[in-house]
Amino acid sequence: MPSGAPTPRLFALQPGDRVWLGKKISGIFTLEKVQEGHHLVLVGTGTGLAPYMSVLRSELECRLDHHTVVLLGARHSWDLGYRGELIAMQRFCRTFHYAPIISRPDEEHVPWAGQTGYVQDLWDRGLVAEAIGYDPTTDNTQILLCGNPGMIEGMITRLEKDGFGEGDAGSPGQIHAEKFW
């Protein structure tokens, strides 16, 4: 961006406004390192859902041999992006599961009947095991994390206690995290 130029918020841009991008494009948050045939758990907060939507729209297969589970956390129900689309996916694909959770139910305009707390709590409450029909293990489940850094670090700690690990050069691991910070 040119020196001294204002930095408008993305949502405030108008058609025809200029957008400056950096010279370096980076990122490898794809399904490339996810082991095929495993259950897929996509954990996100807020805008961390966006990369998953591309994957879900292009890669979601309603196969009976594995499940896809989306755990999405937000402060309020109105912050649960793509909610209608995710509910529709769940209705049309019996191996797709959507579990939203909000952390501030007391601020809802209409009482929230769903899960409350933080998205990490859904793992602790056994929602993934309930969705796939048995406990997720390192042999059958791959987990992607995207969103709030505190959520990612908290989930990695929880998952490591259950034997899951991040990959390295010698092993692909079962935890795949987008650490954009």
- CATH number, domain of 114, equals 3.40.50.80
* Within a domain: 16: no
What does the chain come to in residues? Answer: 181
Domain membership flag for residue 143: yes
* Residue 31 placed within a domain: no
| Segment of 1-10, 139-148, 160-169 carrying the highest mean pLDDT | 139-148
Kindly state the tokens that stand for 14. 């108008």
Q: What is the pLDDT of residues 152-181, one digit of tens each?
A: 999 999 999 999 999 776 778 899 998 766
pLDDT tops 60 at residue 112 = yes
Segment 140-161 mean pLDDT: 95
CA dihedral 55, 59, 65, 71 (to 10 degrees): 20
154: amino acid identity, one letter? G
Are 76 and 102 a contacting pair, CB within 8 Å?
yes
Range(s) of the domain holding residue 50: 44-178
Instruction: Please check whether residue 1 lies inside any domain of the structure.
Output: no
DSSP 4-57: T-----GGG--TT------S------SSTTSPTTSEEEEEEEGGGGHHHHHHHH
Q: Is position 95 within any domain?
A: yes
Q: How many structural domains are present in the chain?
A: 1
Residue 175: DSSP 8-state: E
- The whole-model pTM stands at 0.83
Q: Quick one: average pLDDT of 27-43?
A: 83
Average pLDDT over residues 75-92: 95
